[in-house]
Structure 1
Amino acid sequence: MLKLLPIFRITALLEGVSYILLLFIATPIKYFANDPQYVKMLGMPHGLLFIAYVVMTVLISKDMKWTNRTLWVVLLASIIPFGTFYIDKKYLNKKANA
């Protein structure tokens, strides 16, 4: 399953970027400019990336030898802006370079 690690890192990056775009660009445009097209355009890709992130987290958690606490931290990071970038730096980058 560690072969999934590079794919997981890319998924985490894309999920984080899509979340930031959705929260800080598309949502303000929706409410301040009354233009919901960007939320509609970014919502589905972000949702799919979020689901992929959660599924891949569970799949690689045993191979990464994460404790239950670490698993929950990695999962919760997906709902915090910039959280997936922190997870990549703290938990994923070490294994990728090893």
Structure 2
Amino acid sequence: MDIKTATALHRLRLASIPEALSFPALLIFGTGFRLALDYDKLVMPLGIIHGVLFIIYVVLLLDVWNRAKWPFKRVALFFLLAVLPFGGLFGDRILKREEQAGVIAARARKEGTVNA
């Protein structure tokens, strides 16, 4: 894995946590506010924030798919994790391990300690 692929993985990790927390935190909070206090003005802005975070996540996922040459099943798994509440937190663990392994391998190749 090259540095650009590791960077793409890192960007996806950075987007996965806010996206994972935005669904339960923002949307459920907004819906609870609407139901408990009959206050509808929070739902739309919170939904827009969640939607923007989700779109960013999907675009970054497609970038990683292109750079890392992931199989479709793996991309589908990460997409499914983004749809599930808190699912992105599980995906973050996987991405963190893969990112660290990629950076270590790239540094080893750069230093000439591993033939690639």
TM-score, normalized by the shorter chain, greater than 0.5: yes
Tell me what 1:58 maps to: 62
**Structure 1 segments (4+ residues) deviating >4 Å:** none
CA distance in 1, matches of 2:49, 2:29: 15
Tell me what 2:22 maps to: 18
Q: Which of residues 43, 48, 62 in structure 2 aligns to 1:44?
A: 48
Q: Percent identity?
A: 28
Structure 1 alignment gaps of length 5 or more: none
Larger Rg belongs to: 2
What's the TM-score, normalizing by structure 1? 0.85
Q: Which of residues 26, 30, 35 in structure 1 aligns to 2:34?
A: 30
What is the aligned-residue RMSD (CA, Å)? Answer: 1.6
Tell me what 2:72 maps to: 68
Structure 2 alignment gaps of length 5 or more: 102-116
Secondary structure of the structure 1 residue equivalent to 2:67: coil
Tell me what 1:83 maps to: 87
What's the TM-score, normalizing by structure 2? 0.73
Which one-letter code corresponds to 1:52 in the other structure? I
Which one-letter code corresponds to 1:48 in the other structure? V
